[in-house]
Amino acid sequence: MKSSHAHTNRLATETSPYLLQHAHNPVDWHPWGEEALTKAKNENKPILVSIGYSACHWCHVMEHECFEQEEVAKVMNALFINIKIDREERPDLDQIYMDAVTAMGLRGGWPLNVFLTPDTKPFYGGTYFPKEQWLDILGQISNAFINHKEEIYKSAESFTTSLNQNEVQKYGLVDETETFDKNELDLAFESIAKQFDYDMGGMNKAPKFPMPSIYLYLLRDYALTGRKAALQHVEKTLDKMAMGGIYDTIGGGFSRYSVDAEWFAPHFEKMLYDNGQLLALYSEAYTVTKKPAYKEVILETYTWLTRELFSKEGGFYSALDADSEGIEGKYYCWEYHELLDLIVEDFNIFCDYYAITKEGNWEHGMNILYKRMDNVTFAEKHALSAETLIEYISHWKNILFNTRDPREHPGLDDKILASWNGIALKGLCEAYRALGDEAILNTAIMNAEFLVSNMYDGKTLFHSYKNKQATIPGFLEDYTFVIEGLIALYEVSFDEQWLRQAIALVNHVIDYFYDEQDGLFFYTSNIGEKLIARKKEIFDNVIPASNSSLARNLYQLGKILDNEDWIEHGRKTASRFKKAFLTDPSYVSNWGCLITSMMSPTAEIVISGKQCKQYRKEIEQHYFPNKIICGSAVESTLPLLKDRNPIDTETNMYLCYDKTCQLPTTDISQLFEQLNHIR
């Protein structure tokens, strides 16, 4: 039975959509903060920290089964101080308590429920619990806390000690030799190729997550070695993802993952960070292959982002829920008879194209739209010309979009996160690089202006923004992904204000996040809230680690600014992860992107003169990932543009690498010849 709004707890004054979802539970929820933590100490009660996010399906299930129930709330309120956390708002807390649960030998995930001593040290945890089991656990934990306090404090202490272990020592990250030889890439490729799904693309497991940085590394492997197998696997993966139910072929954008190994049945939530990264990945892949299907994905995903997640102010919202009307995927799925009424002509061809069946190809008689063959093969099968098939598809999509749009939309998580906006900004810049569409560049500029004017006060970048208010001082991921977006925006616009902004943020990070002792960066600032552990994020996951991203930024900016210290940081940290990368690139793939840029000289391309933007567009049509690109139509103080003042009559291009410059040229084909020498 769902509770009414008879209850209102302390979450009602929060801005996080996830916390607000729980504001009318009978559980006496507190947000994380001084009030709750002091109360736990004063009343000497254990703390229950429950962590989730608004688009999390099982978080909703546990809320309905447990947190909305009076009898459960009564037990929780009597025995514990209950704290709700939005993991997207407080990734620092999520990281600590997720690591603690893993250290307990338990499986991590969300909802994450962790029991702490009154001084916030973890001693037990888990993920989703159904009602009876949850009530049982609450009783056992309370009983243990009252009757075996000493043992509980002892184990909490040992988990906290393990949380504070230095990452460099824990994972044996020693400075290896600083030589990087592209012949070593065979080792890395052999290792990762064992994990490939050769039929459906991606990695050979279910559920299947898009892991963009793995395929970006494989594209760099191809650029360096010419290895066809690397490119083929990227293409296979991107083709199958775009054909699968994980891609919303009607409205654009990707779901978070598919529950099967075929990219077929998605977990229907759509996250900004996935779509920002996939925009960048499909853009790079399009530059290599020029496949029309990739261009379509880029444009449709861009359209979806600006239609569904873009705020009037210029920031991107965080996510769309999986559920609408309380049912997962309801917005996206179709019943056979409904489609029969909509698609009057060519219904059999339509059903074959989208794998529609009378009984439904998914559960509860519903159909998920997905494709079993590419357009060329399908057109041949049905004796259609390519043009006719494209007309059909466009017609079908219009009908389905206009029918679907009035349905109740999935819930929107409307907080704006700096880190994820940085990822989206980078994706937009890569899409503009690939397609040269000015509307995409304008969106990117709007987004950067929003971040700089609303989420940055000249010193601190803030993590979250909602209701015209920026809150929570930024984490390392906020700084590094915004820096990455700003560097990309400079490279596609040649507007130096974005570069200056990136440099200011880097200087702040070095002052407040750097660990002199081991040369890596903490996730939290040294003036932030003191928690039981101060972590470093070093392994790449669905989102790259903030340390790998920052090392890439420092290396790239170092090259643009001729800053040897920053280049050296990139080189040194890359050397630490080289061994792990050669052994198994799958969890250090973004480090792999940095390592590959050490394996051949980084091209420094400088364009000086009136046509600098036009020349840049032409250069970008060719895939050459290991480069930095600077340009100006007027005099500039950038080191690479010094003494290369624009001449009224012509636009010059300069290529340098390994501290050696080639002769300037005004001819693009000559520049490409010079670039080919680097290869």
Query: Strand ranges (DSSP E) for 106-247?
Result: 112-116, 122-126
- What contacts 532, CB < 8 A, 6 or more positions away? 96, 120, 121, 160, 163, 164
Q: Say what the pLDDT of residue 1 is.
A: 32
Residue closest to 47 by CA, chosen among 83, 12, 84, 8: 83
Give the torsion through C-alpha atoms of 8, 48, 256, 211, to 10 deg: 150
Q: Distance between CA 51 and CA 607 in Å, rounded?
A: 50
Q: Say what the pLDDT of residue 299 is.
A: 98
DSSP 315: P
Provide the residue type at 410 as one letter: P
Residue closest to 480 by CA, chosen among 527, 436, 437, 538: 538
Q: Say what the pLDDT of residue 649 is.
A: 74
**Token digits of residue 399:** 């009908």
Cα 610 versus chain centre, distance: 37
Please name the helix (run of DSSP H) or strand (run of DSSP E) that holds residue 231, with its range, or none. helix 228-243
Residue closest to 81 by CA, chosen among 135, 31, 123: 31
β-pair partners for 412: 320
Q: Distance between CA 562 and CA 641 in Å, rounded?
A: 11
Provide the residue type at 442 as one letter: N
Residue closest to 222 by CA, chosen among 626, 539, 571: 626
Contact 208, 539 (CB under 8 A): no
Q: List helix spans (H) across 63-209.
A: 70-79, 91-103, 131-147, 149-163, 167-170, 185-193
Backbone angles phi, psi at 114, to 5 degrees: -125, 135
Q: Between the CA of residue 654 and those of 247, 603, 628, what are the distances in Å?
A: 41, 10, 12
- What contacts 216, CB < 8 A, 6 or more positions away? 280, 281, 284, 589, 590, 593
What is the pTM assigned to this prediction?
Answer: 0.95
Contact 201, 237 (CB under 8 A): yes
Q: What 3-state class would DSSP assign to 53?
A: coil
CA–CA–CA angle 500, 529, 459 (5° rounding): 20
Q: Distance between CA 551 and CA 516 in Å, rounded?
A: 15
Contact 145, 47 (CB under 8 A): no
Long-range Cβ contacts of 133-137 (<8 Å, 24+ apart):
134/62, 134/65, 134/66, 134/72, 135/71, 135/72, 135/75
* Mean pLDDT in order along the chain per 10 residues (679 residues): 68 94 97 97 97 90 96 98 97 96 92 97 96 97 96 94 88 78 94 97 96 98 97 98 98 97 96 98 98 97 98 97 91 97 94 97 96 95 96 97 97 96 98 98 98 97 97 97 98 98 98 95 94 95 97 97 95 93 95 96 95 95 95 91 80 90 91 86
Q: Say what the pLDDT of residue 177 is.
A: 64
Question: Exposed, middle or buried: residue 676 (CB in 10 Å: 0-12, 13-18, 19+)?
Answer: exposed
